[in-house]
A and B are shown apart, each in its own frame.
Chain A
Amino acid sequence: MSARDVSAEALRAGLGDARRERRGWRAWLPYAVLGVVVLGLALAGGGQEDTGEPLDPASPGPLGTKAVVDVLREVGADVRVGADVPGEGVDTALLLVDRLDDDERARLLDWVRAGGVLVVADAGSTLQPDAVATTSLAVVQASIARACDLPAVADVARVSAPGGTVHEVPEGADGCFDRNDGSWLVARDEGEGAVVTLGGAGALTNEELGEADNGLLAVVLLAPEGDETVAVLPPPAGAAGGGQRGLVDLIPGAVRAAFLQLLLAFLILAAWRARRLGRPVLEPAPVEVAGSELVVATGNLFQTARAGGHAAAILRADASCAPRLAERLGLAPGAPPELVADAAAARTGADRDEVLALLTGPGDVDEAGLVTLAQAVESVRRASLSDVPRQPDRGAVGVR
């Protein structure tokens, strides 16, 4: 057995053994990978970055309102965050999002009439005066200068209220921060207390509180003295328009489950197709080198080396010395070119000088010259041989 055979055999056997050994745990590998992937997805899905709800007084995110609470506490106010309608002992209240029902609203107004100050930051609240059309404050020109002499906001020069709305100032109320025939801030007395409505809570978010005099506005409205008790009513869950609900959340659960089920069915299908019935069969590959490789390589070498002269010499020698040709022409192999030319001309009727020129041409030829030469040599050879009856095949010699 040759080394090659042995190695091929060993290779086959070795592969077989190794595979058999590994198969035990390998078979379970896809299932394990699948399990890890599913687990990972579950963990990743449950652990989304928690930036809190927009306008949430507990949220430090850019849309949260934790900064307002902090600022108020900084100036000494007692801030209570809670959904309850403020009652006894609360001086001011901030209503970020108005989702109150009629009963709650009535109780809130009762509290205001008893002397509370309510700041309504929800532009869509029913506590707001009518909006002037839908004039929204542009984001780029979000800053509004104070254009009133309301004593409470005397220290506030400008507010930045991107995305806010302006409202018509009703009879008996004061408007401030005017733009487009409306006021962003409208204050009106309500019994003993007052209701201040803002054209949106955008000015009070963590992101905007540092802009213009927004922080100051919050303080002067909610804790002008610095020792007030402030109630901040957080928005109910999901109150903000955007929320975390994506397209997928809007699909009914049953449909989603059905899709998930189809996905599982597909995975089973994939597992069925993935499991191979019998592994591919190995066999040593046979040698595949053309027997004429050497000739092709030699030809290419001639060409690469620009050995046109050498190749031409070979072809000329072939024309004059090829045994069968010389035989046909009645010459000994290796006869001088003149004799070959004579004989070939006599036999084929070709021009003797042409044939001679062909056989004794210049030593060095280029590629095109070589092609011409090869063609000419071949045609002379064929013409010389053609009028000779073909020799019977050398089959069954001496038996017939």
Chain B
Amino acid sequence: MTAAPATLPAAPAAPAAGGDRAGGRAGELGPVPTWRLAALAALASIVGLLAPLDPVVSLVAVNAVVLVAGLADWWRAPRPGALRVERELPGVVGLDQEADLRWRVTNPARRPVTVRLADQLAPSLRAATRRATLRVPAGGRAAARTALRPSRRGRFTPTELVLRVDGPWGLAARQGRRSLPATLRVYPPFRSRKEAELRIERARILDVGLRSARGRGGGTEFDALREYTVDDEFRRIDWAATARSGKPIVRTYRAERNQTVLVLLDTGRVMAGVVEALPRDGEAAPGTEVAPAVPRLEHAMDAVLMLTAVSTRLGDRAGFVAFADEVRGVVPPGHTRAQLTRVTEAMYDLEPRLVESDYRAAFADTLARFRRRALLVVLTELIPAAVTETLLPALPLVTRDHLVIVAGVRDPAVDRWARAVPTEARTAFRKAAAVRALDDRRRIVTRLRGAGATVIDAVPGRLSGELADAYLKVKATGRL
């Protein structure tokens, strides 16, 4: 994932910079007293006590001094618009990654200033702080940083910055807003990256032909001729080539390439439900942070990334279609490494829509766009009503010409409840309900298989792996 630093300076001198300069005091609201002014007022009470004056006179006089001092300091405080502010933000952050955000303030005045700033960082960015205090030397610049650990993917667009500039004595401050738009894209995490690498490695071994004897089919596309070694099968010997060269030559094969894998991601209401994640192998060590429960869509996205990574690395073309009640995003099939980034880019901003998914429209759109035979992977949720009413009737559209895999995110909590030993009535009833839900699910899986689809129903931690394995199996058996 690239983290290209995107500097988005707001040049205050240029009129194009949001007009906060032209407006002068636009976004500036009255003087802000500081604790120093309060302290001064408190000290003044002692003066009033000691001064041999009429109490009323001394009160008025002392407060007039405090007021004048405060107002004078406010008057002398530089306007927030006079400072040059920049926000240095990586354009892209992965959900599990930490990113640095830097604010830079340049002070063109001949006096040092103290600036407090507050950025418009959404809570789910989980910034260590969204405020900073800077002492900017005269004619110089100062910077502050904060760390972001986004808790949610998507697009974040902080548009402004609030600045509070203290007066020279620090008695009063000017506060104002500065327009400083920026975009931070938080990409979905690719938690199964390691598993993907593992499968790619295994498949490569097959590809190179070192273990071509194993694996059903072992690839069908002719790759090259080479000299016979003791482990090669006799049936692979190319007799014509052997006769020409005078020494035994074998033909090597490799898996088919340039096949198309199309992943259809359902983003409808069925994907909105929150499902807990199971700890992966190696993550289950005690003390590790348990992954928070996230919508099914997030788990499905991991599977999308997995399939895209594995298939493109094995020389296939991976495409992506996101749909709900309409098609929401399409990435045409491609086989370059950049495809993973493209798919991520297409996915990061998708939130589940609370609508019924239209599978027929999604299939029809996909068929119209991509006519080549492909492996169609539909990532959805196996809810009986949704599947029987919309998915099953639409399935014949695609099963005729394409190989279809339907994958669902299974809820580990329901599995657990169905296998629990209940101790009270509530859990016993819940067990019955869970058992029935799983029964329904099983029935649906059977019906989908009957309709000609391969079905994968796995809990979040395993879905990606099983899906990749199913794909590899399809390739190995040459079904595509």
Q: Which A residues fall within an 8 A CB radius of B?
A: 2, 4-5, 20, 23-24, 27-28, 31, 253-262, 264-266, 268-269, 271-272, 275, 277-279, 281-283, 286-296, 298-300, 302-303, 310-312, 314-315, 317-318, 323, 367-368, 370-371, 373-375, 378-379, 394-400
Q: Is B302 located at the chain interface by the 8 A CB criterion?
A: no
Please give, as numbers and ranges, the residues of chain B lying within 8 Å of A295 by CB-CB distance: 411, 413-414, 417, 430, 433-434, 437
Bound together, the chains give a CA A299 to CA B422 distance in angstroms of 13
A-B contacts besides A287-B354, A294-B437, 8 pairs, CB < 8 Å: A265-B45, A278-B118, A278-B120, A278-B130, A292-B413, A296-B430, A371-B424, A399-B473
Q: Which B residues fall within an 8 A CB radius of A?
A: 27, 29-30, 32-35, 37-42, 44-46, 48-49, 54-56, 58-59, 62-63, 116-124, 130-131, 152, 156, 158, 161-162, 164, 175, 199, 202-203, 206, 214-216, 272-275, 293, 295-296, 324, 351-355, 381, 409, 411, 413-414, 417-426, 428-437, 439, 442, 465-466, 469-470, 472-473, 476-477
- Contact with B38, one of A269, A288, A379 (Cβ below 8 angstroms): A269
B421 & A272 in contact (Cβ 8 Å cutoff)? no
- The contact sample of 18 A-B pairs, CB cut-off 8 A, is A2-B355, A261-B44, A266-B38, A272-B38, A278-B117, A283-B156, A287-B274, A287-B352, A289-B273, A292-B414, A295-B433, A314-B435, A318-B435, A370-B425, A373-B428, A397-B472, A399-B199, A400-B215
Bound together, the chains give a CA A287 to CA B269 distance in angstroms of 10
The 3 A-B residue pairs whose C-beta atoms are closest, nearest first, are A278-B118, A291-B273, A299-B430
B56 & A257 in contact (Cβ 8 Å cutoff)? yes
Please give, as numbers and ranges, the residues of chain B lying within 8 Å of A24 by CB-CB distance: 29
> Would A272 and B37 be within 8 Å (CB), given that A255-B49, A399-B202 are in contact?
yes
A375 & B275 in contact (Cβ 8 Å cutoff)? no
A256 & B55 in contact (Cβ 8 Å cutoff)? yes
Kindly report which residue of chain B lies nearest to residue A290, judged by CB atoms.
B274
Please give, as numbers and ranges, the residues of chain A lying within 8 Å of B430 by CB-CB distance: 295-296, 299-300
- Contact with B421, one of A311, A378, A400 (Cβ below 8 angstroms): A378
Bound together, the chains give a CA A179 to CA B253 distance in angstroms of 137
Please give, as numbers and ranges, the residues of chain A lying within 8 Å of B432 by CB-CB distance: 299, 302, 310-312, 314-315, 370, 374
A257 & B39 in contact (Cβ 8 Å cutoff)? no
Please give, as numbers and ranges, the residues of chain B lying within 8 Å of A317 by CB-CB distance: 439
Please give, as numbers and ranges, the residues of chain B lying within 8 Å of A287 by CB-CB distance: 272, 274, 295, 351-352, 354
Please give, as numbers and ranges, the residues of chain B lying within 8 Å of A20 by CB-CB distance: 27
A374 & B54 in contact (Cβ 8 Å cutoff)? no
> Would A291 and B411 be within 8 Å (CB), given that A5-B351, A268-B33, A400-B214 are in contact?
yes
B421 & A375 in contact (Cβ 8 Å cutoff)? yes
- Contact with A395, one of B41, B273, B353, B465 (Cβ below 8 angstroms): B465
A275 & B175 in contact (Cβ 8 Å cutoff)? yes
A315 & B435 in contact (Cβ 8 Å cutoff)? yes
> Would A288 and B274 be within 8 Å (CB), given that A371-B424, A374-B422, A395-B465 are in contact?
yes
Please give, as numbers and ranges, the residues of chain A lying within 8 Å of B472 by CB-CB distance: 396-399
B473 & A272 in contact (Cβ 8 Å cutoff)? no
Residue in A20, A254, A378 with the greatest tally of chain B CB atoms within 10 Å: A254
A367 & B425 in contact (Cβ 8 Å cutoff)? yes
Kindly report which residue of chain B lies nearest to residue A268, judged by CB atoms.
B38
Bound together, the chains give a CA A24 to CA B149 distance in angstroms of 35
Q: How far is the CB of B85 from chain A (nearest CB, A)?
A: 13
Q: How far is the CB of B49 from chain A (nearest CB, A)?
A: 5
Q: How far is the CB of B351 from chain A (nearest CB, A)?
A: 7
> Would A371 and B428 be within 8 Å (CB), given that A272-B35, A299-B434 are in contact?
yes
> Would A292 and B411 be within 8 Å (CB), given that A27-B30, A261-B62, A323-B442 are in contact?
yes
Q: How far is the CB of B207 from chain A (nearest CB, A)?
A: 11
- Contact with B48, one of A258, A396, A398 (Cβ below 8 angstroms): A258
Kindly report which residue of chain A lies nearest to residue B206, judged by CB atoms.
A399
Q: How far is the CB of A370 from chain B (nearest CB, A)?
A: 5
B33 & A271 in contact (Cβ 8 Å cutoff)? yes
A253 & B55 in contact (Cβ 8 Å cutoff)? yes
> Would A283 and B124 be within 8 Å (CB), given that A269-B38, A378-B419 are in contact?
yes
B32 & A275 in contact (Cβ 8 Å cutoff)? yes
Please give, as numbers and ranges, the residues of chain B lying within 8 Å of A293 by CB-CB distance: 273
B429 & A311 in contact (Cβ 8 Å cutoff)? yes
Q: How far is the CB of B27 from chain A (nearest CB, A)?
A: 7
Residue in B54, B421, B422, B431 with the greatest tally of chain A CB atoms within 10 Å: B431
Please give, as numbers and ranges, the residues of chain A lying within 8 Å of B424 by CB-CB distance: 371
Please give, as numbers and ranges, the residues of chain A lying within 8 Å of B439 by CB-CB distance: 314, 317-318
- Contact with B42, one of A2, A4, A265, A314 (Cβ below 8 angstroms): A265
B426 & A299 in contact (Cβ 8 Å cutoff)? yes
B45 & A258 in contact (Cβ 8 Å cutoff)? yes
Kindly report which residue of chain A lies nearest to residue B270, judged by CB atoms.
A291
B63 & A269 in contact (Cβ 8 Å cutoff)? no
A398 & B38 in contact (Cβ 8 Å cutoff)? no
Please give, as numbers and ranges, the residues of chain A lying within 8 Å of B324 by CB-CB distance: 2
Please give, as numbers and ranges, the residues of chain A lying within 8 Å of B273 by CB-CB distance: 289-293
Bound together, the chains give a CA A394 to CA B429 distance in angstroms of 31
B429 & A398 in contact (Cβ 8 Å cutoff)? no
Q: How far is the CB of B72 from chain A (nearest CB, A)?
A: 15
Q: How far is the CB of A383 from chain B (nearest CB, A)?
A: 12
B44 & A253 in contact (Cβ 8 Å cutoff)? no
Bound together, the chains give a CA A27 to CA B174 distance in angstroms of 13
Bound together, the chains give a CA A210 to CA B86 distance in angstroms of 86
A315 & B431 in contact (Cβ 8 Å cutoff)? yes
Q: How far is the CB of B260 from chain A (nearest CB, A)?
A: 20
Please give, as numbers and ranges, the residues of chain B lying within 8 Å of A395 by CB-CB distance: 465-466, 469
Please give, as numbers and ranges, the residues of chain A lying within 8 Å of B272 by CB-CB distance: 287, 289
> Would A398 and B216 be within 8 Å (CB), given that A299-B430, A299-B432 are in contact?
yes
Q: How far is the CB of A358 from chain B (nearest CB, A)?
A: 14
Q: How far is the CB of A335 from chain B (nearest CB, A)?
A: 16
Please give, as numbers and ranges, the residues of chain A lying within 8 Å of B466 by CB-CB distance: 394-395
Bound together, the chains give a CA A169 to CA B355 distance in angstroms of 107
Q: How far is the CB of B13 from chain A (nearest CB, A)?
A: 23
B477 & A261 in contact (Cβ 8 Å cutoff)? no
B29 & A27 in contact (Cβ 8 Å cutoff)? yes
- Contact with A272, one of B33, B59, B203 (Cβ below 8 angstroms): B33
Please give, as numbers and ranges, the residues of chain B lying within 8 Å of A271 by CB-CB distance: 32-33
B428 & A311 in contact (Cβ 8 Å cutoff)? yes
Bound together, the chains give a CA A44 to CA B421 distance in angstroms of 73
A368 & B469 in contact (Cβ 8 Å cutoff)? no
Bound together, the chains give a CA A310 to CA B215 distance in angstroms of 48
B435 & A264 in contact (Cβ 8 Å cutoff)? no
Please give, as numbers and ranges, the residues of chain B lying within 8 Å of A5 by CB-CB distance: 351
A257 & B422 in contact (Cβ 8 Å cutoff)? no
Q: How far is the CB of B441 from chain A (nearest CB, A)?
A: 11
Bound together, the chains give a CA A220 to CA B409 distance in angstroms of 110
Bound together, the chains give a CA A314 to CA B274 distance in angstroms of 26
Kindly report which residue of chain B lies nearest to residue A20, judged by CB atoms.
B27
